[in-house]
Structure 1
């Protein structure tokens, strides 16, 4: 979630509210020091290595890392004629990235006419995530978008009774599911495979990745396409749900203590593209 996307407090879809007498502005941007060393790789080399990074939280967007221009390798950015206007931050200049024989246009941008209240971004440049080969915090690759300090996952055990049915067939019946609370998302229920009729699950092609949980594999159940998923090799942060299965309540019937679950706000994920050069093997060995 973070502050400004999904259902965060500064997001357009926020489910909470600030207890203040006057309405807040329609859009609030929040910038803060990241306080982590971050590196950017392009053309087989490091073009940025910085401990001076500002993270910008903008409504409806993933957080974006802004680097001091002094930490960018000389010659790595080539000014372009292309210009845009940011609705809050003003005129924006764009750059091509160059390293060795590699060159990509519209790979980075800088706000060049900032309002006084946004001076913290003065002289800073941000890089288009998919245009770069990789982003790192220290020696660990960060995938999807800049890591958000306000995003977390908590996994809790429960003895509540969860049943999954498809067309009258019982697919799962468990008194020991796990519930995953992910900041800004509605709860997701994960079922141990011992409580699942795995003959009902048909693996389908196509995987997705989550910057916080890892690589997800999908299953169809009867006529319900991609009705379930599993993080077969979930990352250590959510190791408790590794190889468990979760079910989409809008595609199959899921009941919890007899109550039918419905798709809630916060159960649809804002899409983002797969990182350039990112392969399944690297995800699994992160």
Structure 2
């Protein structure tokens, strides 16, 4: 979750509410300085390098980085004929991005007729994430999308008794689960493999990618498809859950302290946006740089 997507406070499915007298607008956009150096690489060249990036948080979307024109290589942007109308920010012009003999049409955009209240984006350009080779903060590659400062993950050791069953089979039984608390989501519980009946897990095809945890693999449990998952090589920041197994409480029976867990409304991860379709090499934390 972030400020404006999934169940964040500015997202359409927000789980909290602002304690204000009058109703807020249905859509609220938020900009803020990133306060980190960000660079963009295209066709092997650095085409943008800035310490003055502004993030736009738009309802239902991942944050987008906007670079000042002065921090973009002049020859990298070629105005195109394509134009669109943003529902909140007005007329939008699109650029072809060039580096030497390489080009990518409609790979960057600029809002050219901004309303007065959106002046922070004036004179700035955003790059389509998947159209570029890579984005970096300092010398480390950022994969998936611009980092959302409002997304937080905490992991806590627990001694509560967690039991997972499917039909008549006990799939996991532990008194040492890890609770993973991720902004805006109900806790996810991870079980050490030694406390899992691994014979019950059948690897499922397909992986997904989380910009904060890494590459995720899935397992079928009997006829329950993709009922369990694991980050086999989780990013350093969440290394404690590497190789552990978590289970979907809407697909198998998960009891914590005797109480059955249920998947809370809105908890399903939305598989949209630029955090999908990465190759394993791109998503591998050991190859970020």
Q: Shared fold by TM > 0.5?
A: yes
Contact 1:134–1:276 (CA under 8 A) maintained in structure 2: no
> For structure 2, which runs of at least 5 residues remain unmatched after alignment?
none
- Give distance in 2, aligned partners of 1:55 and 1:281: 23
Residue 128 of structure 2: aligned partner: 128
> For structure 1, which runs of at least 5 residues remain unmatched after alignment?
none
Residue 279 of structure 1: aligned partner: 280
Residue 3 of structure 1: aligned partner: 3
Q: CA RMSD in A?
A: 1.4
Residue 17 of structure 2: aligned partner: 17
Contact 2:56–2:63 (CA under 8 A) maintained in structure 1: yes
Q: In the alignment, does 2:77 pair up with 1:77?
A: yes
Using the size of structure 1 for normalisation, the TM-score is 0.96
- Give distance in 2, aligned partners of 1:225 and 1:102: 43
Residue 158 of structure 1: aligned partner: 158
- Give distance in 2, aligned partners of 1:196 and 1:184: 28
Using the size of structure 2 for normalisation, the TM-score is 0.95
How many residue pairs align between the two structures?
286
Residue 233 of structure 2: aligned partner: 233
- Give distance in 2, aligned partners of 1:208 and 1:215: 6
Residue 66 of structure 2: aligned partner: 66
Contact 1:130–1:276 (CA under 8 A) maintained in structure 2: no
Contact 1:10–1:28 (CA under 8 A) maintained in structure 2: yes
Contact 1:186–1:266 (CA under 8 A) maintained in structure 2: no
Residue 51 of structure 2: aligned partner: 51
Offset at residue 105 of structure 1 (A) = 1.1
Residue 214 of structure 1: aligned partner: 214
Residue 264 of structure 2: aligned partner: 264
Contact 1:132–1:276 (CA under 8 A) maintained in structure 2: no
Counterparts of 1:164-203 in structure 2, within 5 Å, are 164-203=164-203
Offset at residue 284 of structure 1 (A) = 3.7
Offset at residue 204 of structure 1 (A) = 2.1
- Give distance in 2, aligned partners of 1:153 and 1:282: 19
Q: In the alignment, does 2:102 pair up with 1:102?
A: yes
Q: Secondary structure of 2:284's partner?
A: helix
Offset at residue 181 of structure 1 (A) = 0.5
Residue 145 of structure 2: aligned partner: 145
- Give distance in 2, aligned partners of 1:12 and 1:116: 24
Q: Secondary structure of 1:75's partner?
A: helix
Q: Secondary structure of 1:141's partner?
A: strand
Residue 31 of structure 1: aligned partner: 31
- Give distance in 2, aligned partners of 1:97 and 1:104: 5
Offset at residue 282 of structure 1 (A) = 5.5
Residue 41 of structure 1: aligned partner: 41
Offset at residue 206 of structure 1 (A) = 1.7
Residue 89 of structure 1: aligned partner: 89
Q: Which contiguous aligned blocks of 4+ residues in structure 1 show a shift greater than 6 angstroms?
A: none
Contact 1:134–1:275 (CA under 8 A) maintained in structure 2: no
Contact 2:209–2:276 (CA under 8 A) maintained in structure 1: no
Offset at residue 7 of structure 1 (A) = 1.0
Q: Secondary structure of 1:194's partner?
A: helix
Contact 1:133–1:277 (CA under 8 A) maintained in structure 2: no
